[in-house]
Homo-oligomer: A and B are copies of this chain.
Amino acid sequence: MTKLTLDRTINQNTFHLSDKTLTALTEIMYEQHIEAGTYLFWEGDTADKLFYIKKGNVKLTKATSDGKEYILNMFDNGDLFGELSSFMSINYSYNAMALTDCVIGVIQQKDLEILLWQHGEIAVEFLKWTSLLNQITQSKLRDLTFHGKLGALCSTLIRMANSYGESFSGGIRITKKVKNGELGEYIGATRESVNRMLSDLRGKEILAQEKGYLIIRDLDKLKDICHCENCPLEICRM
């Protein structure tokens, strides 16, 4: 799965394709409107498109054989996602659900491929992008695997702060509401465990909550817990 962000205004930590590439992409995409709660695609659908979120929120989820669901990724205004390797794994292995009403730009794989084929420099740009995405996934793998569930949770909170956080006098407010259960699905823990870990962190004044929004009070402590390596912000993100 691939994630690019085109819109500079949403997230300062994100690298961007050049204006030239952006324009070229916009030219080959067509618009689609999706209602909140409906799906862009399902597991098993042919993966021959990229999706550019003009407006709204999309989550990628996967259902496990034992009925649970986990979250692979959440996308925002300006993000681009989908599969590029059309020639081999031709099906999606996950579901994409609109969390809000969305306006989506759809790019046909074929059209993109022609574009890339003709413009080596755009292809190189895309290549660097997917390389970055690979680094992001790789760093998630490390964070979610090697320091227990508490480490996984803390690193996820840091990533959320980097992706959706806004600083203020009291710390960093994470402007995206997430349920405990969703955090659990994201890190592979139960809702209850997440709940207890968050309570602990609140007790230690590392975390706080304000009308449903998470506030990071002590980023350094969070970093300690997950053995943060201070990766560049482009990599340490959702």
Q: In A219-238, which residues have CB < 8 Å from any B CB?
A: 227, 229, 231-232, 234-235
A146: B residues at CB distance < 8 A: 64, 70, 188
Name the interface size band of chain A.
35 or more
When all copies of this chain in the complex are counted, the total is: 2
Please determine whether A1 and B134 come into contact, CB atoms closer than 8 angstroms.
yes
In the complex, per-residue mask of A76-98: 1 if CB is within 8 Å of any chain B CB, else 0: 00000001111111000100000
Residue picked from A121, A126, A127, most chain B C-beta under 10 Å: A127
Is A24 interfacial (CB-CB < 8 Å)? no
Is A135 interfacial (CB-CB < 8 Å)? yes
A227 to B87 Cα, complex, angstroms: 26
Select the stretch in A29-37, A112-120, A174-182 that faces chain B.
Answer: A112-120
Is A124 interfacial (CB-CB < 8 Å)? yes
Please determine whether B132 and A85 come into contact, CB atoms closer than 8 angstroms.
yes
Is A100 interfacial (CB-CB < 8 Å)? no
Please determine whether B135 and A138 come into contact, CB atoms closer than 8 angstroms.
no
Contact of A130 among B15, B127, B145, B231 (CB under 8 A): B127
Is A194 interfacial (CB-CB < 8 Å)? no
